[in-house]
Amino acid sequence: MDATSCLKSLLLAINQYKNNKSVSNATQLQRQLDVISGLKSTRLFSSNQVLPSECLSCLIELAGDPNTNTSLTLKIIGLLSHLASEEETREALHTSYSLTSALASVIHCNSSTPSEPVVLQCIQLLQRITYNVRVFHSSANIDELLTFLMYHIQSPDDELTMPCLGLMANLCRHNMSVQAHIKSLNNVKGFYRTLISFLAHNRLTVVVFALSILTSLTINEEVGEKLFHAKNIHQTFQLIFNIIVNGDGTLTRKYAVDLLVDLLKNPKISDYLTRYEHFNLCLSQVLGLLHGKDPDSAAKVLELLISFCSVASLRRLLCQALFAPPSVRAPSSGKNNKTPEPVIALIHCSSLPLEGPENSTLQALELLKEMLEEAIDSPCCSTMHQFVDLLLPVLLDLLQTPGQILDESLAKKKCARTSRAIDILLVLCGDESLKFQVSEKLTARACVSQLEFQFSSSWMDVGFVNPVADSDHGQVGADVVLKTLDLMSKIKQFVPNMETSFYKMLQDQRLITPLSFALTSDLRHRVEAALRIVFEAAPLPDFPAIMLGESIAANNAYRLQEAQYSISRTPAHELHEQPSTLGKGCSSPHYTSNSPQRSNIQNLIEKLQAGVELKEEIKDVRVSELMDVYEQKISALASKEGRLQDLLEAKALALAQADRLIAQYRCQRAQAEAEARKLAALLKDAERNNEELGALLKSQQLESERAKTDIQQLFNHNRKLQAVAEEHESLKGSFTEVVQKLDASEKQLKELQVSHTSLSKQAEALKKHNENVKLQHDKTMAQLTEMEDKRKQLSREIQEKESRISNLQQKIRIQEEKTKQQEKEKDEMEETIEILRKELSKTELARKELSIKVADQNKSCMLRQHKQHMHCGVLSL
């Protein structure tokens, strides 16, 4: 039964269950789900086909329905987990089908029964889907999901704690809205305390989850400054490197690498890492992980090493660890002494087959590029020739064109790898000695064949409707063309026939498409590469400059047109919802076509007819406004016609140029035929000599093969003996270390016993002294309360007198208005005021004296409390 028939049966079973949620229909649907789970073609669901998309939408809808049978929900989530193992399907589930909100709804509905298996499966699936993906906080049920996760993280001995921690780490990473929501909650301090307590957990996975959440939430806050203080950061680095090297599995290592990458983005923490004394040892252990068999772990390790390149000092140390001689490198642990060189592992990752994991190969090539850029300007450059000899065959193999037709995904992978390989070759050409080494291996035929392969690819057959910028494969292919030409320009003087091939390719009309794409790009390196090529090609007589200008103008026009219609484009189903808007006097109708680029006169006539039909229904629309709109449409079409006429004239000029090229080609062909006859005679002579030399070569090859087998056998035997000797020496050293540690631990035990007895006696004496201090403290506290009561009474009296003073001042203002009539009363009042002022000064002096006494009492109490704390600290010690 093929996949299409299975999907049709599944869709039929889903519809039957939706119409009648009976046990028999649920059983039938579960059988169909088992059949789909048995299919190996999980990529089918990542495509844009209608049938798989409809099946996924219906399954997610059923999973989010609270009325769906629990066992059926488990089956659906199990199938979705199986599909999420493939990267493209996982991205489609998150972006196109809103699986995150649906699973959050399932968890919210079952929050009262968290022990149900469906809750654990939903959390695990959410953790897989949301890894390295941003979740919008405004999505449905996200707030309830965060509350559920925080509750179960803070619950003791909960089986959901670890998956909840992993999911929370995904949601908080690089998501400011989720972080702000968590910080705004009331119990956020208790949540921080719980996370800090997890840092001492016995499982490394829980530790790295908790540390990742704390980093996302507190890296720029006071809690984060205390957590990542200079005193603690070295322990944190050691913990993270231990998790990366000795983690519980790939999942733990992935989160540990993400955590360290996030910490490196903080300038202060990256500066701390540069001064970390054990960094060289940790780096050698991390490089040893490149030899593992797990491609996911290797990819994460490469991601970490690339992030080290963003810090100048770490980049230098990494370059030394890779390219410096063994005597200069930092000593590594005995465990990694048997592993081959890390650069060999990088070269191996760079040459993985196309069917393998893509991230590892691209990241390995990117790391090699970064390291070679650093090494060229460093003292390690003199020791790189041997490494370049190993690397060049891999790069040239990536530069070779495939012998068979590849499907779209493999072709895209091949193109991306070729682009990275050419980047490395361009970096090597930055050094004169390395450039000469590259020119000895690279041939003009390899570059020309790569260009011909890119020109013959499907991405080159694009026009104004589908430019290169709309295709990821097209962008990478254009980069490959430009970088290949840049490489040919750098080594054209050192490789035979390279200069001729280079200038011939510059006059090829097929170069116009990638050049126009790069010149109109928004990336600086593309524009610079295109300008270098144009600078080389402009003086050539047959360079199609006019066609390049037309292509650039067409790309600019396309972008302008896209910008104009991106806002005005309206879905077709809104066509019949606009009469009410038109009736209010809207100046532009909304019933335009879905694809304005393809509009023509026939479509305009149909719209006019539709407008006439709508006019009978809409009586409020003014005919003049509608006619203005249609006149604007007609003028736009006329301007388009003018542009097309200009393009037609340009094509006619290009056709005339093509005729001239054909005539030149015929003359060159006649000359080439004459030269070919001469070369044929020379070729016959060369073939005779070649046959004689071939016989000698075969005999020498047989002798060399025999010598190689003998050397290889001796080399293998020597390597085995060296391995046995190294093991013997390491065992001797470990035995002596264990004996020394045992003697030292016995001496320390005796000393600790003596110190324990003395400390116990001191502790008893301090307990007695502490009791006496407590009694004195109680007495002083009682005296302090009495003095506080007296101070309160005095403050009350002062307030009463101040109120009297304010009343008297009001009376004085009233009496001042009647000064002319009551001079005698004024004199009496002034006398009374002076008396009151004297009393006020006396009360203020008394208040100051009392405040001084109270301050003295407070200081004495503080000194006594400080002494008591000191005694308590001694007792605790």
Strand, helix or coil for residue 159: coil
Whether the predicted pLDDT of 545 surpasses 90:
no
Segment 87-91 mean pLDDT: 81
- Least-confidence region, from 38-52, 587-601, 651-665, 726-740: 587-601
- Assigned token pair, 236: 């944190």
Identify the pLDDT of residue 587.
33
Segment 162-174 mean pLDDT: 92
CB atoms near residue 443 (< 10 Å): 17
| Rounded Cα gap, residues 580 and 620, in angstroms | 10
Under 8 Å between Cβ of 10 and 58: no
- Least-confidence region, from 174-183, 189-198, 378-387, 397-406: 378-387
Whether the predicted pLDDT of 570 surpasses 80:
no
Strand, helix or coil for residue 328: coil
Confidence of residue 307 (pLDDT cuts 50, 70, 90): very high
Segment 293-300 mean pLDDT: 79
Whether the predicted pLDDT of 803 surpasses 60:
yes
- Continuous segment of H or E residues that includes residue 825: helix 823-876
What's the chain's average pLDDT?
80
DSSP letters along 394-455, please? Answer: HHHHHHSPPSS---HHHHHHHHHHHHHHHHHHHHHTTSHHHHHHHHHH--HHHHHHHHHHHH
| Rounded Cα gap, residues 772 and 234, in angstroms | 44
Identify the pLDDT of residue 382.
66
Under 8 Å between Cβ of 274 and 311: yes
Segment 37-52 mean pLDDT: 69
Identify the pLDDT of residue 329.
52
- Least-confidence region, from 143-147, 715-719, 763-767, 791-795: 715-719
Segment 654-662 mean pLDDT: 72
Under 8 Å between Cβ of 86 and 42: yes
| Rounded Cα gap, residues 453 and 406, in angstroms | 12
CA separation (Å) from 731 to 288, 310, 574, 724, 725?
A: 21, 40, 80, 11, 10
- Least-confidence region, from 217-226, 446-455, 531-540, 621-630: 621-630
Whether the predicted pLDDT of 616 surpasses 80:
no
Look-up of token digits 């001492």: 200
| Rounded Cα gap, residues 551 and 468, in angstroms | 11
Q: At what angle do helices 99-109 and 87-95 cross, to 10 degrees?
A: 70
Confidence of residue 614 (pLDDT cuts 50, 70, 90): very low
- For CA atoms 619, 622, 627, 629, the dihedral sign is negative
Identify the pLDDT of residue 256.
92
Identify the pLDDT of residue 375.
86
Which pTM does this prediction carry?
A: 0.63
Q: Which one, of 97, 50, 106, lies nearest residue 77 by Cα? A: 106
| Rounded Cα gap, residues 17 and 30, in angstroms | 11
How long is the chain? 877
